């Protein structure tokens, strides 16, 4: 199985990762989206994503399919 992964969207306090699972016959067998929210561990309220992390996330947009696991 090939897994394609990339950033589907980014916001100030959250980002979405998208995954596509493709079998050996090149058939799409699953798609998954995970939503990640950065929070303050003390009060559990959303906080801004660090700028360096946000910059890295924006470098792997899902459309490019540039990260294959």
**Model confidence pLDDT, tens digit, residues 9-59:** 999 999 999 999 999 999 999 999 999 999 999 999 999 999 999 999 988
Asked whether residue 69 carries a pLDDT value surpassing 60, the answer given is no
Q: Which two tokens stand for residue 13?
A: 């306090």
Whether the per-residue pLDDT at 66 is higher than 80: the answer is no
pLDDT interval class at 67 (50, 70, 90): low
| CB neighbour class for 43 (10 Å; exposed up to 12, middle 13-18, buried from 19) | exposed
Three-state secondary-structure class, residue 22: strand
Q: Which two tokens stand for residue 45?
A: 């309220």
Residue 38 to residue 52: CA distance in whole angstroms: 14
Provide the whole-model pTM: 0.80
pLDDT band at 61 (very low <50, low <70, confident <90, very high): confident
């Amino acid at each position: 199985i090939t897994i394609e992964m990339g950033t589907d969207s980014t916001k100030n306090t959250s980002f979405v990762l998208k995954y596509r699972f493709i079998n050996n016959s090149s058939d799409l067998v699953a798609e998954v989206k995970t939503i990640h929210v950065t929070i303050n561990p003390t009060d559990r309220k959303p906080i801004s994503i660090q700028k360096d992390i946000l910059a890295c996330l924006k470098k792997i947009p899902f459309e490019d399919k540039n990260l294959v696991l």
